[in-house]
Chain A
Amino acid sequence: MTRQNNIRNNLQRIGRLAGMGRDETIAAIRTRRQILMATAILVIGAITFQFYTGTIPLKYTGISINDFSGFWGMM
């Protein structure tokens, strides 16, 4: 957490050099954060889906689940 806090504090300090307030500093990094969040949600969603249905969403792409049978032992 200390590293995260340092980064946040440094970004706010540097943002102030160009006259940016806290909200604007957050806006600067928003897109990057949104992409990371969306990716994380997708990955978690896919794993959850797999546990519920015993399969993986990839089957809807036309790829046979048997193609991945070798991986089952690892999951």
Chain B
Amino acid sequence: MIDTLEKPDVQLTQEEKQLKRVLIICSKGKLEDVYAALVMANGALMEGIEAKMFFTFFGLEAITKKGADHLHTATVGNPAFMPAMPTLLAGLPGFEAFASFMMKKEMDKLDMPHVTEFFEMIEAGGGEIFACKLAADMFHLKKEDMLPQVKDIITVGDMYALAAGDRTQIIFI
């Protein structure tokens, strides 16, 4: 097992400081992509780093009231998922739902929260969640369709304003 307790061997010089803020853009709506965004945003807050999240395109599904807790993983077009599984079988009706169910079960074992609870945790930690205006218009989504943690529907320009200041990093998923 990897020893996660060892401090990574990074020495900051006097001029260098720890990250101040991250902006995590989530453009995908697959379970694993959304979780990657959530874990990184929450992980930043846990380290005392500010976290902003911006959901666009299919990523919007993760912040809708209807979709948030019903995200799926892709069983087709995903070669790392059960490599021995023939694509044709992986595409059978119900298979994707079954695979997603199994994945969520494994996540439960690791005490990983569901998507909506994760958003509650991120909000409680001071993180901010935004939706993309262009994509929301395209998918005919309004603020009332979205989770209560979504602070606002904003333009791409507003999104860049979230990442203002030095010691900020933008992460795109």
A binds B: no
Interface residues of B (CB under 8 A from A): none
